[in-house]
Structure 1
């Protein structure tokens, strides 16, 4: 028989396999907070699960092909995704018709001819992040002398799980997207997608996982904290897709109402209570205390506790400071002056910049050699004049004594390889500005030079000035064996998306100047002014 239909005033006007799964989880899995108790979700979590497993009443197909939960830190995203992953491996998640009462019934994957065998992946951009969900999953299956694993016939390992009596597996994976292409996975958890960017392979991994589950009629679900707008993360892209009304995407996101940093503790507590909903295990008074901690940036509290998508980009260089460091008049550098070079290339939309750095009066002096920009009113087919750029680089090497040239490689790899062959591989070096481990120290060096008296100067060129002042700094998380405890930043475009290529060229020029060997000494030239 067909679905029974919704009763008047019923809060869930659609059929859902979630109702049966709530009972299934309570039967087999323990509470993560007390293994002697069954797994019972809060009303808020139960509602989300019922909605996620909602079915079309006519076809029995899932209403949502992918979903996202953007919640405050500590709300409980990982336990929810852990139990969903267990259900995807061994639970009744495939629609199998209607019972005598008109309610939907399900069956596990792989039990019928034509059914794909369950293959569940918990994905993140690093191995440590996959442990967020997998460690909870492992704990639930092995608690109480592995009762759940035995009853569900699951072999549980530290790195993956297998079904004992039929094909089926669950595994954590990371951002090696190339090796994931084509895998017939049925479900995937995309964990912490506010951290998934093109720089760490997250964008490619998300697309690969979605393609893989699509061909198996499977589904993906993201978990995320609030994202930093403009960072172009997977979480931000999903948010924009939902705003555009893209069909088939389930969204669970609750933000705290607006409060200010200097509001009362009671106001902060009330706002947090909205964001955390039914999460009774979160001590909101403790969160207020942490928010008040002088070492806790307000921007971090906005994102992680209040669940606001906050742009954490701040101006990298203040106009007043930059103006004070201008040399007027700009010195004329004679032929043969030893310099470092920075090159940041584009094709058509952004600029291409060639920036130099030399020692003038015992201070590093950054100067604009040339910046190529799209002319106003140029057609869509306009491109950066590559031959002109190549000629200008050749002239620069001929006129100056270039000790080192750092080049950002995207779209200009062929030319950079040619320069390295012509002028020496030890002098022309690739410098990928999308790698925080390398770019953050370079940006830090420029910030330090700008802040210290007598450690930096520049020519005040119009394009260089405009694009340096357009740079914003963004905090990054990098592993550094020589970590000095200071916050690390990279320079990015601001919310207005103004061009910063000459500014990045200046960072590379200063870094090349610092790293190049002295003329007669086998040591960095940087030591002459530090």
Structure 2
């Protein structure tokens, strides 16, 4: 039942947005076998990120009830005549669902334990406050006749079958084996409030029982290094990210555009009065405009001083396949044991991409993936592969920590010393001119520059902020230690190399040489 408001007591029907989330979150693998728990589903972790007031809390409450007493587990593929009867599972509503042949069937957990998690109890109150009346005032009351202030006991009588609240302030229940975890406002879960350790413990508890953990939150602040950011930026295939921001060309600072943004964000929330949202957003913008855009604009806002807007970068994404032996230029930004090391490539028609080497590995290395240090042998192997796969016309390489390797590349792949060029990015005047040219080609809708839409590069471009230097110049830097920009530097170097190569006539047709006999 709808828990509150003018329609309280009426049947709860998921919104279109929620239905899309549920359809993806409960997607069953083709390889699923009867008896599989979390491994039956495509996704192990879910993130529902959206603007405030779209109905995330009642949606999560409904999911919690499903996980607690409903058919939330895979029970094999249906055969002709299979059905699900609510009466057979303790519910007198009379509902019967006839499965289609081959359709995934569902069953309930035998001992479900669900934890609603937040930093403090006030945050989880939105979900808990919706959950109680949804149980007490609807048909689920026939199955769960009694709720409680601290937890909700399952009618099977098992002491571990319950719904409970866990927070950073009262985490005595944390670490239990759980069938599901519902995490609220993970955009506020950070290392500083111990919630990163908290989520790791919660995930282990779910993994031990074959359960899954989902999150709901407003868009995060990239400066906070939150659990939501980690989840959103994860490259794991078993992470579902349900996030649909409004079109980038709409400006939140422009009132007419804000109206269009609100129409987009609240299309599945007809109970929201957009006039009220406008008033709240306008008021919040006076003090914290970035927060207003995150909460009501449904955007990940990097804050003031960013070098290139994420939307401008995304507009240039047009992934294509680059054929072997294509003439390319490279940009290389290396580190030793803290920042990332990456190689970006750009064709002479200004298409930029992250190439791959052995078994399709991207030419990008994060120290934490390699025991805390950049794997130099991997980088050397990658460059060997690129030199054999493509024709490298020019490569600009930041020499810090990599002087000897660049000399070796120059000797092996560019005997004239003009192919692999040491290009120090700490040279302010030189870097400023290249950054400005690159930014212009990114933001100019008429420029030929395009790229592959690589996710890590997008995050690094978004992270980069402008740091002023004397003479009305600037460099780019990290807003915080966790917000890396290394692929932004590699991208700038690759574009500079391609632009300089074109200026030197690299794109001109090669002269034909004739031999007469």
SS in 2 for 1:170: strand
Q: Does 1:266 align with 2:256?
A: yes
- Structure 2 length-normalised TM: 0.52
Distance 1:32 1:191 in 2: 20
Q: State the partner residue of 2:107.
A: 107
Distance 1:176 1:283 in 2: 35
Instruction: List runs of 5+ in structure 1 lacking aligned partners.
Output: 1-28, 111-116, 316-347, 351-375, 380-469, 473-491, 499-530
Distance 1:93 1:495, change over 3 A: closer
SS in 1 for 2:215: strand
Q: State the partner residue of 1:333.
A: none
1:61-140 matches, cutoff 5 A = 61-97=40-76, 98-100=78-80, 101-102=100-101, 103-110=103-110, 117-140=111-134
Alignment deviations for residues 142-172 of structure 1 (CA, whole Å, 9 cap, x no partner) = 23xxx54531235311121001233210001
Distance 1:48 1:471 in 2: 33
Cα displacement (A) at 1:497: 8.1
Q: State the partner residue of 2:295.
A: 304
Q: Does 1:164 align with 2:155?
A: yes
SS in 2 for 1:161: strand
Kept in 1, the 8 Å contact 2:478–2:485? The answer is: no
SS in 2 for 1:35: coil
Instruction: List runs of 5+ in structure 2 lacking aligned partners.
Output: 34-39, 81-99, 307-336, 340-398, 403-476, 487-517
Q: Does 1:190 align with 2:169?
A: no
Count of aligned positions = 293
Kept in 1, the 8 Å contact 2:117–2:167? The answer is: yes
Kept in 1, the 8 Å contact 2:252–2:297? The answer is: no
Q: State the partner residue of 1:483.
A: none
- Structure 1 length-normalised TM: 0.50
Q: State the partner residue of 1:47.
A: 20
1:24-423 matches, cutoff 5 A = 29-30=1-2, 32-33=4-5, 34-60=7-33, 61-97=40-76, 98-100=78-80, 101-102=100-101, 103-110=103-110, 117-143=111-137, 147-167=138-158, 168-175=161-168, 179-180=172-173, 182-241=175-234, 244=235, 246-258=236-248, 259-263=250-254, 265-293=255-283, 295-312=286-303
Distance 1:207 1:120, change over 3 A: same
Cα displacement (A) at 1:200: 0.8
Distance 1:41 1:496, change over 3 A: closer
Distance 1:134 1:184 in 2: 21
Distance 1:189 1:261, change over 3 A: closer
Q: CA RMSD in A?
A: 3.1
Cα displacement (A) at 1:311: 2.3
Cα displacement (A) at 1:84: 0.6
Kept in 1, the 8 Å contact 2:478–2:484? The answer is: no
Alignment deviations for residues 85-110 of structure 1 (CA, whole Å, 9 cap, x no partner) = 11111111111222423222211111
